[in-house]
Amino acid sequence: MENENRQVTYNSSYTGDTLVTLDIQQYMNNKAMYIGLMCNEDGQEEPFGDVTVNLSVAAPNYCGYLNVNDMPDIEKFITDNDLGEFTGFTQRSGFCEYPLYLFNVDKLRELCPEGMSMYEANIGMVRKPETKDLAR
């Protein structure tokens, strides 16, 4: 099955523009949302970076602590692509303070439908299949 995830552009102050796709999964220890970025290198999907970090305090459903330590441009990427918004909360770990973002569920479903479907099934958010209105 071919990857049906849509590409978006990540603009890094280090590497410039890179076309990436989202990889949505869950952390094993607490089932919190994991979001990674994948890029295509010589025809192969390769990890580009981790959008979220797994901290001792699990993020609420549809939320994640952004990996501002390893990806300093990640907040701009999230807001520029309407992927989420800052909640106003942060969590400190080591020398870094990670902002908690609430992700745009519809946008994540659009960009990574299979990953979101699995995530939502695992947290008990079963979506009913969309049906067309036949009462015309």
Structural domain spans, the chain: 8-119
Rounded Cα distance between 127 and 78, Å, is 24
pLDDT of 128 reads 57
Output helix, strand, coil percentages for the chain, rounded to the nearest 5. Answer: 20, 40, 40
Rounded Cα distance between 112 and 105, Å, is 10
pLDDT of 1 reads 41
- Examine the pLDDT at 61 and tell me if it is beyond 70: yes
Contact, 106 vs 131, CB < 8 A? Answer: no
Average pLDDT score over residue span 79-106: 97
pTM of the model: 0.88
Rounded Cα distance between 95 and 89, Å, is 17
